Amino acid sequence: MSRSFSLYFSGSVKYDGRALGLLGPGRFLLLRKNDGSVSVHGGTLIPPRNYMGAKASMEGIIAAGQTIVFERKGETISIVIDEIHFFEYMDDWSEDEVCLRRTERELVNKLFWNWPDYFDATCYSIETEVQTEFGPIDLLGTEFDGTLHVVEVKRRKATVTDCIQLRKYVETVGGIGYLAGPEIGDKAIKYLKSHGYNWVQVEFDI
């Protein structure tokens, strides 16, 4: 769609859209990717200082003294270039995604396939991603007497907010609540217990 390049320049950047952002003057690195996305990186931090999603249009000439403008539905980035330090094309830039392990999904699957190892209740039905009025329940077990077991799974350390999210589901469908994951904070476990919910420790296999 657009030829990708990196530009290390002196100048200033203005963003207008969901917010209003001013940057510089200073030295920044501009990245233009295959998908038309744009990012302006400063000398610290992982996220860019300014950015714009895929299919941003580009106007202007990349040269000292020029202004280039990127646009995308209601958003604008204007870049005033004072000086160019280097300019390089990135041709054949790979669009591969990272193959990720240790996701929340893996923990959900582990609990699904090994339910008896983690829960006392014998359920005739175990479902994942059960849709409710206020969002999907990660794991829902149903006992023969109709009792529901509502499980909210977190891949990272569970917080008080996660406990309240569980509470939201339990109040919506009824039943017994469980928060599951590899780790939970002190405040969170206290909150969980005081509201009558259960903590289920589950680790990643690899």
| Residues lying near its own copies in the complex (CB under 8 A) | 4, 6, 8, 15, 18-24, 26-29, 31, 33-35, 37, 39, 41-51, 53-54, 85-86, 88, 90, 92-103, 133-135, 155-156, 160-161, 164-165, 167-168, 187, 190-191, 206
Restricted to residues 87-126, the positions that interact with DNA (CB under 7 A) are 97-98, 100, 102-105
Specify whether the CB–CB gap between 35 and 54 falls below 8 A.
yes
Among 7, 32, 50, 139, binds DNA (CB under 7 A): 50
Which string of x and - marks every residue 171-190 that binds DNA (by CB under 7 A)?
--------------xxxx--
C-alpha closest to that of 75 among 96, 104, 55:
55
For the bound state, the minimum distance from the C-beta of residue 174 to its own copies, rounded and expressed in Å, comes to: 15
Q: CA-to-CA distance for 66 and 104, rounded, in angstroms? A: 47
Choose from DNA, its own copies, none: what does 92 bind? Cβ within 5-8 Å by kind.
its own copies
Can you list the pairs that 59-63 forms with residues at least 24 positions away whose Cβ atoms lie under 8 Å? 62/7, 62/87
Which of its own copies, DNA, none does residue 96 bind to, with CB < 5 to 8 Å depending on kind? its own copies
Nearer to DNA, 81 or 180 (CB): 180
In which element (H, E) is residue 193 found?
A: helix 186-194
Q: Which of 172, 199, 177 is nearest to 186 (CA)?
A: 199
Distance CA 201, CA 41 (A): 40
